A and B are shown apart, each in its own frame.
Chain A
Amino acid sequence: MVNYNKRLDRTFAALVDPTRRALLARLEREDGASISALAQPFVIKLPAVMKHLDVLDNAGLITRSKVGRTVTIRLRPEPMREAMDWLRRYERFWSKSLDRLAAYAETKEAEARKKRR
């Protein structure tokens, strides 16, 4: 559970930065890209992009594979999926609870109406 939470922390922390989200969105569209191709649309310098890629790598959100001198970066969606599952648990909790809350309040309202009559 502790590792799980640490992993989630890393995932959410990685996702918080707009540049990193843009990198992920790009990798989602393209099946793999070189570091220089990834850096190209950004105003920031290559070393800064490399740092962002390190954060994504540490969070397990990308993989790197090297062929010759070219490093290809690919999206690794598993941590994202884990984060989505985590959010979905909250969604299930509240969704079911609020359904019952609605039913309960409607019963109470109907009782109050009967009493008033």
Chain B
Amino acid sequence: MTSLTLVRRIKARPSTVFDALTTPEGIASWWGPDGGPVLVAETDPQVGGRFRVRFRMLDGSEHESSGEYLELVKPERLSMSWRWTGGAEDPGESLVEIRLRAVADGTELTFTHSRLHDEESRRSHQEGWTGALDKLQRHFLVIERSSP
């Protein structure tokens, strides 16, 4: 399964982080790959509720993604389906899962974005191929798996 996992340690309580993840005000202040503005942030944080976020990048391009909340256990876990509107970047639906764990100085956040571009693999295999990719990627460039 094509997936991406990132871990962050945050000096704030899990409930504060959870609110930052699920409120429009929170999302508007962090969502996006560069310093460009969030134009729309709508959330309905309950199972079956939807979110929609539109942002503008510094290069002027606008992107929107939306999905459905699949699981919400405040302040521990959150998962949602994910799709780019218009589907130019990636036409498929993927899965975002966030786990928040209370640690001594705040929260450890584990973020996983999975089912990326692998309709095929979901149909045919449970086995992941990221291991093989990991092995092959030294042939190419190395993903910087950033965690502080």
Contact = CB atoms under 8 A, between A and B. Distances in A.
Interface of A: 1, 5, 8-9, 12-13, 15-18, 21, 24-25, 28, 75, 77, 80-81, 83-84, 86-106, 108-109, 112
Contacts of B139: 28, 75, 77, 80
A88 B6 CA distance: 12
Interface residues of B, number: 51
Contacts of B132: 15, 18, 21, 24-25
Contact of A94 (B106, B111, B141): B111
A98 B116 contact: no
Contact of A109 (B4, B11, B137, B143): B11
Q: Which of B16, B19, B137 has the largest number of chain A CB atoms within 10 A?
A: B16
Given A98-B8, A104-B20, A16 B143 contact: no
A75 B135 CA distance: 14
Contacts of B30: 97-98, 100-101, 103-104
Contact of B2 (A5, A87, A97, A105): A87
A108 B113 contact: no
B73 interface: no
A87 B34 CA distance: 17
B104 interface: no
Contact of B120 (A16, A24, A97): A16
5 contacts: A15-B133, A96-B33, A98-B111, A100-B30, A101-B20
B6 A98 contact: yes
